């Protein structure tokens, strides 16, 4: 921010607040910025008038909220200012500017659409944010705020906006005769907040100390295995001459082909560094997907990357082996096969609203139940889906035959889910851009939630809720969280957000296991490196080098402890499954370089030997 911007900001606040605040709380006179800009309009106070005005207030009464007439101002009177809900910043500025007065917030709130009735989620979350900002100003900044008043008690006529918006805690039907006042969700929320005198810590949100069971699958997920498709000396049958004297390059000899050796997966050297990274994180499992865009770069079969396709045949061979294992060896060796579900949690925006709860359940069935119910439940699509689509006259959802249902139902050994965030849903249509007409649902977020750079909300308790919902719907099946992660600022040296995210979400998984009895068998963080998932990785990637971020070390500590050890928690009782070797990563990732250096050393020794031999032979000839 430049000095000019600071002066403009100060001028804006002088015109809005200082007009009255400076004479009363400072020196009895108008701000200098107003006097210099409006010298012909502002009166001059005498010294006796200044003394009479100064100090004529027992507290600073503040009204803060949307300036509904803001757009009516002349542009030059706005001083480039924009509306902002940052109440905490304003309270701190008032405290410093006007000699630490007691502040009473006498009017504060927001507004919703005039069509919104009693479930005013948008207003409720703005109210929550404002009161949280006030609490932070008191506790963290030392501002002396002595009271808070929400605006307003009931819906009314809002100046030039008329009845097109609503700002009340109580709903009023303006077309009815009796005008009965009905409490909105915001009123119930505010009532509960007053009873609690703020936001007391909830027991369910406190960190839990404890460990996961022995054999818990700690893993990392990635989009796909990175494969270097450059032909190696083993997979390239061509013969080359090294043009040492001129171009210094290899020149292919036309018409001459060497004996081709059968290629193997280990020929792809790019796999080795990734395995070394997995060892460094201390995880026992790795989940990845096939990169079909790399196999079919044009999106069809006109151009097929045969080198990569061969590599993925190795993976397919592994998958076929698992299918064979499933058919012939499952009973004896207990193999496991399943399907991974995308399962972000859907929370009712208004917990007091039955309609919001119904909307949330509908979205969960469409998002998760669509695939989960046939496999883990009844063998058919969710009843909620069929009823809703029939209501919408959409009959595209197929019906399974009895034989198909028998084949589909129970075709799993565990339940795998990917979870990243939580979304709020409301049945009231407030924002057309985020309204889903197909499901009649308004998507929104709690503006007090922490967000990533890409605006993904960090809501750890959502993971615990979705695990419990899965258990309620599909029984006590073994569960694996196969992907869970967040993006962070790629330019930040410390990826603090990811560190907080991983610790908080793993702790919620621990609560689900310890407190709720969820049969949780494993957790996979997303993702391994920024190379395949930019901004999501535990490792930065640049110029064929992987650099661990602080979040990787934090996750490794959780893995090593098999959870969260406390002062009263016993140490890890599970047997060690690996030996820590800090040098291994170096040698694994630089094996080719070390071989080359060894060759240079060997060549140097041979050269010295030859020089010594011929120099000695030359001396003999001379004699």
> Does residue 41 sit within a domain?
no
Give residue 379's pLDDT.
85
Total number of domains constituting the chain: 2
Q: What crossing angle do the helices spanning 383-391 and 354-364 adopt, rounded to 10°? A: 110
Q: Which of 200, 220, 236 is the last residue of a domain?
A: 200
Q: Which of 154, 173, 200 is the last residue of a domain?
A: 200
How many Cβ atoms sit within 10 Å of the Cβ of residue 445? 18
Q: Please write the tens of the pLDDT for every residue from 34-82.
A: 998 887 888 999 999 999 999 999 999 999 987 655 555 566 655 556 6
As a whole number of angstroms, the distance between CA 572 and CA 216 comes to 12
As a whole number of angstroms, the distance between CA 144 and CA 128 comes to 20
> Does residue 523 sit within a domain?
yes
Peptide bond before 527: cis, by omega within 30 degrees of 0?
yes
> Does residue 193 sit within a domain?
yes
Give residue 76's pLDDT.
62
As a whole number of angstroms, the distance between CA 291 and CA 526 comes to 16
**How far lies 583's CA from each of 197, 556, 579, 608, in Å?**
56, 17, 12, 31
Cβ contact 132:83 at 8 Å? no
> Does residue 217 sit within a domain?
no
As a whole number of angstroms, the distance between CA 409 and CA 458 comes to 34
> Does residue 222 sit within a domain?
no
Q: Kindly tell me the burial class for residue 179, based on how many C-beta atoms sit within 10 Å of its own C-beta (0-12, 13-18, 19 or more).
A: exposed
CA proximity to 511, closest of 164, 212, 236? 212
Give residue 322's pLDDT.
43
> Does residue 228 sit within a domain?
no
Give residue 121's pLDDT.
95
- The pair of structure tokens assigned to 506 is 């793993």
The length of the chain in residues reads 623
Give residue 616's pLDDT.
66
Q: Which of 140, 174, 200 is the last residue of a domain?
A: 200
- The pair of structure tokens assigned to 54 is 């100064």
Query: Which residues 6+ apart lie within 8 Å of 285 measured at CB?
Result: 217, 218, 219, 220, 522, 524
> Does residue 513 sit within a domain?
yes
Query: Which residues 6+ apart lie within 8 Å of 575 measured at CB?
Result: 214
Give residue 237's pLDDT.
72
Give residue 312's pLDDT.
46
Q: Kindly tell me the burial class for residue 169, based on how many C-beta atoms sit within 10 Å of its own C-beta (0-12, 13-18, 19 or more).
A: buried
DSSP 3-state of 430: coil
As a whole number of angstroms, the distance between CA 282 and CA 574 comes to 14
DSSP 3-state of 402: helix
CA proximity to 521, closest of 529, 512, 530? 512
Domain range enclosing 71: 58-200
Peptide bond before 152: cis, by omega within 30 degrees of 0?
yes
Give residue 311's pLDDT.
46
The pTM (predicted TM-score) of the whole model is 0.80
> Does residue 251 sit within a domain?
no
Paired with 484 in beta bridges are 525
- The pair of structure tokens assigned to 160 is 């030039």
Query: What phi, psi does 214 have (nearest 5°)?
Result: -60, 145
Give residue 267's pLDDT.
55
- The pair of structure tokens assigned to 513 is 């296991």
As a whole number of angstroms, the distance between CA 34 and CA 78 comes to 13
Residue ranges, the chain, pLDDT below 70:
67-83, 225-236, 259-270, 290-325, 395, 568-573, 575-594, 596, 613-614, 616-623
b/e for 392-408, b at 16 or more Cβ within 10 A? eeeeeeeeeeeeeeeeb
């Amino acid at each position: 921010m430049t000095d000019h911007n600071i002066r403009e900001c100060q001028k804006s606040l002088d015109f809005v607040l200082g007009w009255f605040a400076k004479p009363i709380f400072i020196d009895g006179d108008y701000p200098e910025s107003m006097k210099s800009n409006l010298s012909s309009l502002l009166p001059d106070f005498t010294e006796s008038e200044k003394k009479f005005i100064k100090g004529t207030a027992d507290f600073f009464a503040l009204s803060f909220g949307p300036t509904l007439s803001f757009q009516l101002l002349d542009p030059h009177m706005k001083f480039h200012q924009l509306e902002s809900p940052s109440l905490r910043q304003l309270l701190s500025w008032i405290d410093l500017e006007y000699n630490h007065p007691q502040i009473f917030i006498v009017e504060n709130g927001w507004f919703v659409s005039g069509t919104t009735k009693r479930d005013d989620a948008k207003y409720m979350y703005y109210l929550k944010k404002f009161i949280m900002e006030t609490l932070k100003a008191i506790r963290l900044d030392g501002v002396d705020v002595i009271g808070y008043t929400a605006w307003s008690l009931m819906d009314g006529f809002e100046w030039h906006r008329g009845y097109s918006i609503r700002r009340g805690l109580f709903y009023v039907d303006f077309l009815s005769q009796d005008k009965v006042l009905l409490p909105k969700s915001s009123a119930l929320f505010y009532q509960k907040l007053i009873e609690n005198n703020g936001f007391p810590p909830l027991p369910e949100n406190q960190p839990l100390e404890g460990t996961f069971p022995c054999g818990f699958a700690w893993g990392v997920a990635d989009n796909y295995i990175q494969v270097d498709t450059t032909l190696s000396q083993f997979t390239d049958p061509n013969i080359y001459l090294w043009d040492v004297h001129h171009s210094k390059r290899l020149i292919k000899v036309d018409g001459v082909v060497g004996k081709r050796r059968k290629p193997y997966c280990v020929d792809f050297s790019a796999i080795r560094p990734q395995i070394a990274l997995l060892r460094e994180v201390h995880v026992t499992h790795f989940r990845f997907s096939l990169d079909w865009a790399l196999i079919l770069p044009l999106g069809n079969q006109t151009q097929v990357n045969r080198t990569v396709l061969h590599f993925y045949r190795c993976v397919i061979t592994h998958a076929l082996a698992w299918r064979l294992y499933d058919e012939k060896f499952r009973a004896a060796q207990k193999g496991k096969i399943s399907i991974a579900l995308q399962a972000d949690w859907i929370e009712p925006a208004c917990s007091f609203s039955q309609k919001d709860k119904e909307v949330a359940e509908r979205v969960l069935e469409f998002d998760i139940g669509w695939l989960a119910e046939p496999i883990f439940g009844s063998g058919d699509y969710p009843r909620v889906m069929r009823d809703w689509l029939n209501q919408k006259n959409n009959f595209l959802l197929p019906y399974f035959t009895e034989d198909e249902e028998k084949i589909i139902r129970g075709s799993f050994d565990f339940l795998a889910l990917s979870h990243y965030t939580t979304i709020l849903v409301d049945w009231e249509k407030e924002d057309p851009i985020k309204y889903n007409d197909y499901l009649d649902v308004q998507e929104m977020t709690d503006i007090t939630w922490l967000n990533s750079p890409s605006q993904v909300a960090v809501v750890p308790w959502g993971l615990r809720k979705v695990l419990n919902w899965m258990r309620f719907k599909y029984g006590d099946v073994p569960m694996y969280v196969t992907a869970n992660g967040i993006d962070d600022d790629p330019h930040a040296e410390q990826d603090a957000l990811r560190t907080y995210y991983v610790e908080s979400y793993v702790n919620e998984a621990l609560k689900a296991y310890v407190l709720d009895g969820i049969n949780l068998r494993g957790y996979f963080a997303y993702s391994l490196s920024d190379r395949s998932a930019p901004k999501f990785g535990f490792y930065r990637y640049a110029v064929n080098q992987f650099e661990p971020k602080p979040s990787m070390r934090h996750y490794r500590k959780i893995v090593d402890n098999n959870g969260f050890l406390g002062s009263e928690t016993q140490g890890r009782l599970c047997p060690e499954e690996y030996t820590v070797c800090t040098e291994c990563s170096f040698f694994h990732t630089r094996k080719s370089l070390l071989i080359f250096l060894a060759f240079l050393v060997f060549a140097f020794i041979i050269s010295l030997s030859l020089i010594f031999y011929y120099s000695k032979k030359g001396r003999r000839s001379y004699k």
